[in-house]
Chains A and B, each alone.
Chain A
Amino acid sequence: MVNTNKADNIQIIVQDKFKDVHFSIRYMTDNKEPEVTMRNLLTENHPTKQSVNLKTDELFALSYDVKTMAYGTKHVMDMKFTTLSERYSKEPHLSDALDFIVNCIKKPLINDETFAEAKQNMSSSLKRIYDKPNTLAALKAYALGAGDEPLSVFSQGRADILNRITIDDLKSYLKKMLVEDDVFVIGIGQIDLKYLDVLRTMFPKQNDEICASYCLSNKPYKEDQSSKRIKQTSLVSLYTMGTNNTDPNYMSYRVMSYLLGTLPNSLLFTEIREKRNLCYSIYSNLMHYDGVLSIHTGISKNQRDLVLELIAEQIEVIKNDGFTESLFLSAKSLLKNNIISIEDDVYSWINMSFSAWLLNKSFVIEDYLHEIDQVERQDIINAAKSLKRLCTYTVVGQE
């Protein structure tokens, strides 16, 4: 049932239920430094000047949002654009908007002033990210557990590398990126299909085979911590799975994570928050392209060992087939619900379409639902049994 048709790198989904038209243009290369920092610096060269503002407002609040993220071995620069559909603007502005978008991407304004501004913004942004204790704990855990594998590369770049980048480095990197990166483009909304050919000319496909997924290797369990003068302690634990989203049985890992720590009544939430009142938030998350499951929570520092013990116990509950049938069915049913609802959420739709493209297939909701239906209790047990505890990082609060 899985649709294995290789998807085009240019996709338009004609959909008239949205009042906006959305485009996402994604440039992708290997996830390594110093390229990652360079790409993040490019994202800061977005248009902020008065003349650009005038133009975007003229194009019906065309919004321009550039973000970077890691997909396993790949680093992605996502340029999202949104503008009002011509059905509501009553003016044919989409062609102008597209020209503007492509111009922003291919000919960004990089001069001494914008370069200095971009460096300042990126430096401040990195500090803000590290000032959030739960984010800090997660980033430290990735670095601790991944060694020199891709998960250790922070998708938002590094301050020390940033300091060394010159304007000439950035200009030459942009030229290289525009030529060598793989590009994926998707448009969703009331868009004429004539734009398919226009976009194909603008963004030709580079490689036939892209492999973003890998499995983080298992290593001896490690713990580390740092302290901050805050009241709460942030804790992140990582587990390797020995598989990733290229595995035909990967859906059982998704269902297992739902049951463990994603459902509103997950095992972690029920035991650690509802029964023991040890935290406000606790959840598990799958890093599909790295083959990693992470668990995140905020607790009191003197409860750390108990919480780690309880987390391990909940995984044992799954391994020992100790979860209720209703929890198992809930996990499957809510995961299906969340897949179906993607059709009402443009950004989730874009992300799922991109993920499917990375896996060399098309995003077909029915295929995902079928895979969920096929998951049995034993698959969940097997998925839990494959988890190997990799590391725990704690940002200890002082209370």
Chain B
Amino acid sequence: MKSYYNEQLNETIYLETLENGLNIAVLHKIKNVTTSAYLAFPYGALNLIQKDKQGNQYPFNPGAAHFLEHKLFENHKGLDVMERFSMLSCNVNAFTSANETVYYFNTTSLDIKEPLDLLLDFVQEFNITAESVEKEKQIIIQELRSYHQMPESRLMFETLQALYSQHPIKFDIGGSEESVNAITKEELDLCFKLNYHPKNALLVIVSSMDPELLCAIAMENQDNKTFAPHIQLSDVEVIEPESVATTLKIVSMDIQSSKLTYSFKLKTQNLSDYDRANLEWQLRIYLELLFTSINPDYENWIKNDIIHDYFGYDVEINKDYWYVMFYGETENRDTFIELIESTLKTDITPLLPYLRQLKRRYLSYAYRLLDDQDDYAIHYIRSYFSSLRLEDTIEIINNLNASDVYKVKNMLDTQHKAIVIVEKSQTGQNDTND
């Protein structure tokens, strides 16, 4: 294995690629008692229409990646996967996000071979019945409903639906009740076959154990398996119009506090992963300077009851969808919108000297991330799939300068905007005083 020691971070990473293409990274934490292993695939909710080199297209229902994640926990060789991990003193779980699916366990047991083999085995074999697919639909629909009735989750979901008419970001990660009901065993078989080849996968292990030993366990496991030839895939490009799907959307919910978002699409550009990350940081800093208490006007916004503690922004600079979003909780939506629009036009020059303190803050956050095994591993996985390293984030923050931050003002064109309101319904009960 190749090892990389970063003196500044005081962290060592060991890397290996096996013959079948499986990539392994051991994030060596010599003083930790827990070992965590994550088997990750760069296949998530956004990969809805894939194509191979021959031009064959493979369209999937929204929610297919998430459904597949659920079904992989089906009994493995007649044994309950959850029960087997519990028997091995391991907590096991998985998640599907926009761009990846990750299966993981953690344990303090020193006998790591069995759980590591189990992780690799249950994720790399897929053998389910059509009947079990049908049964799982009821569980997933309950999961979707639980998120849908949370006002904050609903606000974010409705906002993305208002912004995008074609891009798969408009769908919930788990899909909709309709799309989940449409998913079949054959569709899941195809998802698995196309996306779960070891050449696509990354195994990350955070542990104090000998990295060579951990790698040897994975190697022995993989040596005993054969896989179908790897299929090189890419996503079919989606033509998303510059305009938004809906400029004003009002959704009624049985809640006590109305919420809203003001968001706008940015024009995407063809940039490298590093340059996109750099641009996202510049935009974040720009918005942080303008829309937080660093800006002396912020206190007046609170005093005038335009914003309160539920106020913030988000910026996403992904490969093919870029947007900025502000969220808040107010009955006075016009004043809120006016505040966002006028503040975006203000001169940021007087606030630029605070860039130094923000850099200090975010560099400290970057160190902080490494103390949590899950955060460290997931950051590593996402950086790896985006061809970035943790050091790149630190380098980008270190190199941020006032003139670059100043320049992003020109990008913040609110022409393609959407306003989404999740408003309290007239019959909403007031439970607060009970």
**Chain A residues in contact with chain B, CB under 8 A?**
16-20, 44, 48-50, 52-54, 56-58, 60-61, 82-84, 87-89, 113, 116-117, 120-121, 123-128, 130-134, 136, 139-140, 143, 158-160, 226, 228-232, 263-265, 269-270, 273, 277-281, 298-300, 326-327, 329-331, 333-334, 336-338, 340-341, 343-346, 397
Contacts and interface: CB of A to CB of B under 8 A. Distances in A.
A263 B93 CA distance: 12
Contacts of A327: 83
B209 to A, nearest CB: 14
A159 B298 CA distance: 26
Interface string B345-372: 0000000001001101110110110111
B308 A120 contact: yes
Contact of A61 (B33, B91, B254, B365): B365
B80 interface: yes
Contacts of B425: 229
A123 B373 CA distance: 36
Contacts of A128: 151-152, 257, 310, 329
B299 interface: yes
Given A131-B255, A159-B432, A277 B139 contact: yes
B33 A131 contact: no
B434 A143 contact: yes
B294 A53 contact: yes
Contact of A232 (B92, B146, B298, B429): B146
B235 interface: no
A131 B151 contact: yes
Contact of A341 (B33, B142, B357): B33
Q: Is the interface of A mostly helix, strand, loop or mixed?
A: helix
A396 to B, nearest CB: 12
A166 B262 CA distance: 35
A232 B149 CA distance: 8
A338 B91 contact: yes
Nearest to A89: B364
Given A158-B433, A330-B83, A337-B108, A124 B89 contact: no
Contact of A230 (B92, B149, B373): B149
A265 B299 contact: no
Contacts of A82: 368
Nearest to B152: A128
Contact of A264 (B85, B140, B302): B85
B371 A18 contact: yes
A340 B108 contact: yes
27 contacts: A18-B371, A19-B10, A50-B293, A61-B364, A120-B305, A124-B329, A128-B151, A130-B431, A132-B150, A132-B151, A158-B432, A158-B433, A229-B253, A229-B254, A230-B149, A231-B148, A232-B145, A232-B149, A264-B83, A269-B82, A277-B138, A280-B142, A281-B146, A327-B83, A330-B86, A334-B91, A337-B90
A207 to B, nearest CB: 33
Contacts of A345: 372
Contact of B256 (A127, A281, A298, A329): A127
Nearest to A269: B82
A20 B296 CA distance: 30
Interface pairs A-B: 3 shortest CB-CB: A61-B364, A17-B31, A330-B86
Contacts, number: 203
B432 A330 contact: no
Q: Categorize the interface residue count of chain B.
A: 35 or more
Contacts of B362: 61
Q: Which of B34, B90, B91, B371 has the most CB of A within 10 A?
A: B371
B329 A344 contact: no
Contacts of A228: 149, 254, 429
Contact of A124 (B83, B109, B308, B361): B308
B433 to A, nearest CB: 4
B364 A131 contact: no
A128 B258 CA distance: 10
Contacts of A341: 33-34, 106, 108
A16 B80 CA distance: 39
A337 B308 contact: no
A290 B396 CA distance: 50
A344 B32 contact: yes
B29 interface: yes
Given A54-B357, A299-B142, A337-B107, A61 B294 contact: no
A368 to B, nearest CB: 13
B255 A159 contact: no
Contact of A280 (B139, B254, B255, B308): B139
A278 B139 CA distance: 7
Nearest to A129: B432
A341 B33 CA distance: 6
Contacts of B32: 17, 343-344
A62 B365 CA distance: 10
B309 A121 contact: yes
A279 B293 contact: no
A131 B257 contact: yes
B308 A117 contact: yes
Contacts of A334: 86, 89-91
Contact of B368 (A19, A134, A279): A19
Contacts of A143: 434
A49 B91 contact: no
Contacts of A49: 293, 299
